[in-house]
Amino acid sequence: MQMTAAGGNKPTSSIGVKYMNISDIVRIQKPESTLGFIISECYILTFSVLKRNHNEEAKRKMRQTLIGIAIGIAFAVIAILAWQMIVMRNNLQEKIEMVNVLLSKYEAKAQFIGEYLPIINDYTESEIMSKRILAAVYENSLQYDLSPELILSVIKVESEFNPRAYSNAGAVGLMQVMPVTGMYVGRSLGLWVNSESDLYDIEKNIQIGVVFLKECIERLGEKRGLGYYYAGRHTQYYNQYTKKVAAAKELWVVEPASLTFNMQ
């Protein structure tokens, strides 16, 4: 009920009562007696305290929940960052190791070329050609597990390091590869060898020759394999050829620089 300006009672709407605070309802309905007033005020005070305590407790729990969530998120972020750092460190370590391997291979290759370049230059038309031959020999020796000195010796005997060499039997290039053999081995390696002219390519000729030489040695051993590489089934030429290759190996005996000094 609401009091009008004239002192009369005016009924309140249901909507007004619905949204009124309970303490207001108590105050509206409080009795006129002192005891009733004290009781009603105590009720209002108790309700307010309980309501405030309830709100504070809810806020405290909510605050604790939010703090827990924030801590959980922080730990998750830290864990993700730590994992990413570990992955980055491992990737970086792998890349460093890869670079070191590449550098060591490059240094070994450069040392190999530097040692034998003066010897090869005596046979080739230019230093660039010599470097191409030595680079191809070194790379194929690693790939097919053959001594680079053995490969160089075969090239020396077969063609005297002349990429344009051509024999009466029709063998072509540095390692004197027969066109039929070149096409067969080249196809197995995925190399384009359509005619004998393709075998004049330095890198292609050396790779095909090394692969064929490797197959011969694996099947028959080094001496007989060398003989078969040169003469096929004509075994009467084996011994002579292996002696030539052995003599050519003497070219690659390079004295280490660290052992070169003057004796007093």
CATH 1.10.530.10 domain range(s) in the chain: 121-256
d(Cα 52, Cα 190) in Å, to the nearest integer?
Answer: 85
CATH of 121-256, one of 3.10.330.20, 3.40.1280.10, 1.10.530.10, 3.30.70.3000: 1.10.530.10
d(Cα 123, Cα 116) in Å, to the nearest integer?
Answer: 12
Q: Give pLDDT tens digits for 207-251.
A: 999 999 999 999 999 999 999 999 998 988 899 999 999 999 998
Range among 65-69, 70-74, 225-229, 233-237 with highest mean pLDDT value: 225-229
Q: Please give the mean pLDDT across all residues of the chain.
A: 79
